[in-house]
Amino acid sequence: MSNPLRQGWRLLTITATLSRYRLDEVARSAHWFRPVAWLTPGRRDSKALSRGERLRLALQELGPVFVKFGQVLSTRRDLLPLDIADELAKLQDAVEPFPGAQAQAIIEAQLQQPIDSLFNSFQQQPLASASIAQVHAAELKDGQSVVVKVVRPGIKQRIRQDVSLLRTLAGLAQRYHPEGQRIRPLEVVHEFETYIFDELDMQREAANASLLRRYHQHSRDVYIPKIYWSYCKQHVLVMERVHGIPIKDKQTLQERGFNLERLAKRGIRLFYTQVFRDNLFHADMHPGNLLVAEDNPDDPRIIALDFGIVASLSPKDLYYIGENFLAIFEQQYRRVAELHVEAGWVPADTRLDEMEASVRTVCESSFTRPLNEISFGEMLLKLFQVARRFKLTIQPQLIMLQKTLLNIEGLGRDLYPELDLWAVAKPELEAIVRHKRSPAATLKALRRRLPMLLERTPDMPELIHQTLKKAVAGELETRLRHPQLDELPNLLKQQRRATGLAIFGGALLISGVLLLDYRSGPVILNIALPSWLCFLAALGAAVSLWRR
């Protein structure tokens, strides 16, 4: 089947699925699917299901790419109704496995060796199967137990086709939805495309895991499995096999006497350490990717898995998000408003007093609740929602941070409902910031930059001399750059034309009025010259107004 025919058939399949789950109703509140509603001719009676359930089931039926897209959408709580976002968060990656013999063939092709020369043993029956890859157990020649992660065959082509369709639907939403330019659905699809293609590259995932392992090598909070680089290629990853209890299996943890309060607190500390100390955080930290080490129930350690999505912030974003966190911790609402303006997240002409009042409304209502009910992730979400009225520019990199925080807070509360997030998070962040601003940290940063500064030092006297020479000669120029300055010449040109037309029209009008009193002059098409002058003046004024 040719590519256009394949895409047409895929579109028909998607349309039929959306119709079957009555997603035209979802479209009325979840603006992503409004254009799709126009394409759904029929539907099955499914009133017993909520709109979020219908959407989740439809995405599961459409396949792995749409499952992944639903997972990404579930993180965009700034765009989706909460009931739909909560339901999409339940999407699971478990899909039908592909044959083990096919996985073996991919491994041999990637590593260019027969399977017997690579491993003592290789289990063709997979341990787990997800939308992007599946995992097999194996044993290296030195006896080390490992897992081998293999990318699904043909998945890249299918992703390209489905992403192309998603981009088309997002384009319709951005063009026709009233808030299309603000919610930027094309940007969300691009964000999804970046994440999913990053997940296809096993060497990238291996690098993520390797760096996280280095940062947490001596940590008591988390364990990162070892990567075996000589066995890692674009479609194959080999990692140390680890054993533990799934962190979502609370009943088993309780039965075996694990300290759930300590475990919950470690999860919260891990988030703040990864984000604000290391600026490298596991951005897919849902319960399915976390185990608990079994060796010490009283002092349990988290084991992290699946490093396909690891994120970091720019130095600017990291500074402003950290300062926002501290300002909220200290209930300095004016400072929160100022930081949003300084960071460029809201326009520079935003009224700080109005934004301060909005921030205070959100935060004070949270602070009045018992400490063990406060959720910092939910507070951030409400702040993003409130900031819409101040024309907040959506920051995708901060949305990923917020999603990770919501995941880890939800996990902590599930493990230990009495958890006081404030008591854990506030001192952790304050300690990290205090360390970063300490004289020792400043000296270390200066020492790191000193070679670069010394290398440039010989050029400084000449640069200073040239600058002073130009200043004395009056040749020093100051250049201003602003996006609207590029439009200034065109605006001035239009203004000159409009002014000239207005002067000419005014002259015609005055001449016509003066000649009306004399009731004389040539007649053109049975209309006297004064009337023609007045008509032309009115026409010129109309054209001038229209062009403005």
Tokens of 274: 């990864």
Query: What angle separates helix 260-272 from helix 396-415, to the nearest 10 degrees?
Result: 170
The long-range contacts involving 369-372, CB below 8 angstroms and separated by at least 24 positions, are 371/420, 371/421, 371/422, 371/423, 372/417, 372/418, 372/419, 372/420, 372/421
Helices (H), 387-487: 396-415, 421-436, 439-456, 460-472
Nearest to 238 by CA among 309, 142, 155, 136: 136
Contact 151, 235 (CB under 8 A): yes
Q: What are phi and psi of 492, to 5 degrees?
A: -65, -40
CA distance 321 to 480: 29
List the beta strands (DSSP E) in 261-403: 281-282, 290-292, 302-304, 310-311
> Cα 111–114–118 angle (5° rounding)?
70
Residue 112 burial by Cβ neighbours in a 10 Å radius (0-12, 13-18, 19+): exposed
Residue 76 CA to residue 192 CA, distance in Å, equals 11
Give the count of beta carbons closer than 10 Å to the beta carbon of residue 214.
11
Alpha carbon distance 320, 333 (integer Å)? 14
Q: One of 221, 284, 306, 349 is an active-site residue; which one?
A: 284
User: Active-site residue 142, yes or no?
Assistant: no
Show Cβ contacts of residue 362 under 8 Å, excluding neighbours closer than 6 positions. 379, 382, 383, 386
* All residues at 6 or more sequence positions from 433 whose CB lies less than 8 Å from its CB, including other chains: 276, 322, 326
Q: What is the DSSP string of 157-183?
A: HHHHHHHHHHHHHHHHHHHHSTTHHHH
The answer for residues whose C-beta is within 8 angstroms of residue 7's C-beta and 6 or more apart is 161, 164, 165
Phi and psi for 232 in degrees, rounded to 5?
-105, 125
Q: Any idea which residues carry the catalytic annotation?
A: 284
